[in-house]
Amino acid sequence: MGRTSKRACAAAGAESIMPGTVQGKMQGVKYYKAGIYARLSSDRYLKKNESVETQIEIAKRYVEDWNRHHGDKIEIVGEYADLGKTGTNFERDDFKRLMQDIRLGDINCVIVKDLSRFGRNYLEAGNYIEKIFPFLGVRFIAVADGYDTGTDVNNTKQMASEIKNLVNDMYAKDFSAKAKLSLKQRREAGSYVGGPPPYGYEACLEGRLRKLKPDGNTAEIVRLIYKKFLEMGSYQAVADELNDRRINPPTVYKKCKEVYCPAETAYKGWDKSAVERILKSATYTGGLVQGRTSLTARKEENRVRRPEEEWVRKENTHEAIISQELYGQAQEIHRRIQERTRSHNHPAKGCPIGENIFDKVLYCGVCGRKMTRHSYVKDYGDGRRERKGGYFCLDSVSTKRETCPESNRISRIELADILSFLFRAEFATQLKKQRDYVEQGQALVHQKKQELERQLRQTEGAMAALSEEEGEKYMAYRLGSLPQEEYVRYRLWKEERLRELERQKKRYQEGGKKLERKGDIYLRAVRSLIRLKSGNALTRELVEALIEKIYVYPGKRVEIVFTYGDIHREGVE
C-alpha cells in the first residue's frame, strides 16, 4: 500500500467519521470533534458574563442548537480554560494543551465565545485563524461574533474578523497603558501592589489602599532571622537554625498557616536563598520600594529591570518589624560576604589569599574596632609573584568618623615578627615557673571541676522543667485555649532558653576536660614557641589558644592580652 501524505490526512480530518458514532448515517454528513476554549483575562474583570463557566456554557448551547438545525454534527470532546492569562500572547498552558490535541488528531474544531477570548494580539490571532487552523483542517467558531470557518467564508466576513482582531489588539494596548498609570498612582500613594505579602506581614485594605501589617505569628521569626544572621554571619547557618527548629518556610506557611511543622508531618525546610531574600528586603524597615521590574507586552513571564531612578520609593508606609540600624548591620555583613566571594575568584592564580590567623583576636587599640584585612599580589622583575597584605582600622581611613583620627595600619609580616618576639619574651619568664604552674593548676582544676558539676545539675533540672511546661502549652494551643500568636512567642522564648541551657550544659561537660588539658596545652604551646624562627610559622590554632585580644596602635605598637593569664595567676598564687 502506498504511503498517505500527512497533509492529505490533515485536510481530510474534518470529514472523517468520529470514533464511537453509530454506523449507517447518511453519507456526506460531516462530524467534528470540538474543543471549547475559554480564557479569563489577567485584568481580573470578574463580571458574570466574562466568567469561564459562562463562556463554556454559551459554547455548549451553540453546539446543541447547531446539531438540531444542521446536517453537520459537532461533538464536544474537551474543554480548555486559562485563568488569569493575558490575551496579548499565546503562551498559555491550556491553549498549548489544545494545540497538542489538535496535532494528535483528537480535536478538529475549536469553539470560543468571541474573538477577544481567543486572543487580543491582531497578528498572532489572525495567523492561527487564517493560516494554522486551515492547514491543520480545524474548524474555528467564534459564537458571539458569528464567525465560522466551516461555512462559506466570504471576503466580508474575513474583513470583519480582521477588524475585530485589530480592535481587540488596540484595546489590549490601551488597557495596558491605563493599567500602568493606575499602578504607578497606587505605588506613589503607598499601596502595596505586589503579590502575596512578604513573610512576616499580612495585607489588608485601608480605604482603597492595600497596606501591610505585621503578622503576629511570623513577625518574631523575621526578628529571629536578623538576630541569628548578625551572630553567625552566614545565610546557610541561619537556614540550618530554622530547620533545626522545624519552622515552616514562607511557601509552606502561606498554605497551612502553621509556623511550626508538626512532628508527624514531612518537613520541607528553608534554603539560603529564602533567608537572603528576607535579609535583603528593606520592606521590613517600614518602607516600600516598588516598580523595579515591568512586564513586556509579549511575554508575561519575562520581566524587564527598570532603571533605579524610575523605582517608586515610599517611607513609613507600614509598621516596621526591623529597625533601620539592625537592617544596616545586616547589609554590612552581606557586603563582607560578597567581598569574600569575589576574593575566592581572584584573578591572581597561584597566589592564594590564605587563612586569616588573626581574624578573631585583632582589634584597633584606639577605637576598639576589629581590624580589616587587605591583600594584594606583587609582581617582581624576575617573574616571581607574591601575595602581600596587612591590616588597618576602617575608622582610621574614613572621613565620616572621628574615633580614629590617625591612620592605623600594620603589615602581616610586621605583626607576625612582633608577636614572635613578644611570645619569646613572655614565655622565657614563665618557663622558669613551669613546676609551680602545673602543681597549682591541678589543684585549681579540681576545685573548678566540682563547681562545674554543681552547675551542670542545676542546668539539667531547669531543662526538665522547661520540657514539662512546653507540653502543657502545646496541649493548650491544640485545644484552642492558647492563641497561636502567644504559643509562637512562648515557643521562641522557650527554644532560646533551652538552647542556652544546652550550651551551658555542653560547656560544663567539656569544662572539666578542658581544665585537665590546660597544662598540657600550655606546655605544648611553649615548646612550639621555642622552635619559632619566623612569624610565618604562626598558626591560627596557636594564636587563638594563647591570645584573647591583640590591640594595634598607630606607629605599629602592639598590646597582647593572653588567654592563660588569669588561670596562671590563680594557680601561682
Asked, for residue 345, whether it belongs to a domain, the answer is no
Q: Are residues 246 and 147 in the same domain?
A: no
Tell me, yes or no, whether 41 and 99 share the same domain.
yes
Identify whether 303 is part of a domain.
yes
C-alpha neighbours within 13 Å on the C-beta side of residue 117 = 30
Expressed as residue numbers, the domain containing 321 is: 201-327
Task: Please indicate, yes or no, whether residues 22 and 128 belong to a single structural domain of this protein.
Answer: yes
Confidence of residue 90 (pLDDT cuts 50, 70, 90): confident
Number of domains, the chain: 2
Q: Are residues 149 and 235 in the same domain?
A: no
| Domain CATH number, residue 228 | 3.90.1750
At 335-366, the pLDDT tens digits run 888 877 765 555 556 677 777 888 888 999 98
12 and 157 share one domain: yes
- Whether residues 167 and 18 share a domain: the answer is yes
Is the pLDDT score of 524 beyond 80? no
**Last residue of some domain: 292, 327, 362?**
327
Q: What string of H, E and C letters represents the secondary structure of 293-339?
A: EEECCCCCCCEEECCHHHCEEECCCCCCCCCHHHHHHHHHHHHHHHH
The last residue of one of the domains, among 288, 305, 327, is 327
Could you tell me the pTM of the whole model? Answer: 0.41
| 311, 327, 343 - which closes a domain | 327
In a domain, 409, yes or no: no
Confidence (pLDDT) at 315: 83
* 109 shares a domain with 240: no
Q: Does the structure show a pLDDT above 60 at 209? A: yes
In a domain, residue 138? The reply is yes
Do 102 and 209 reside in the same domain of the chain?
Answer: no
Indicate whether 59 and 156 sit together in one domain: yes
Q: Please check whether residue 436 lies inside any domain of the structure.
A: no
Strands 109-112 and 31-39 come out as parallel
Q: Per residue in 527-564, pLDDT tens? A: 555 554 444 467 777 777 678 889 999 888 888 887 65
What average pLDDT does the structure give for the chain?
Answer: 75
Q: Which three cell numbers stand for residue 332?
A: 554590612
CATH code where residue 77 lies: 3.40.50.1390
pLDDT at 525 over 70: no
Higher-scoring residue by pLDDT: 23, 266: 266
Sorted by sequence, the CB contacts under 8 Å of residue 94 that are 6+ apart come out as: 37, 80, 81, 82
The 10s digit of each residue's pLDDT in 167-196 is 555 555 555 555 565 566 666 667 777 778
The answer for 442, left when phi > 0, alpha when psi is -120 to 50, beta otherwise, is alpha
- Contact indicator for 287, 161 with CB cutoff of 8 Å: no
- Is the pLDDT assigned to residue 377 strictly greater than 90? no
Hey, which residues does 37 pair with through a beta bridge?
80
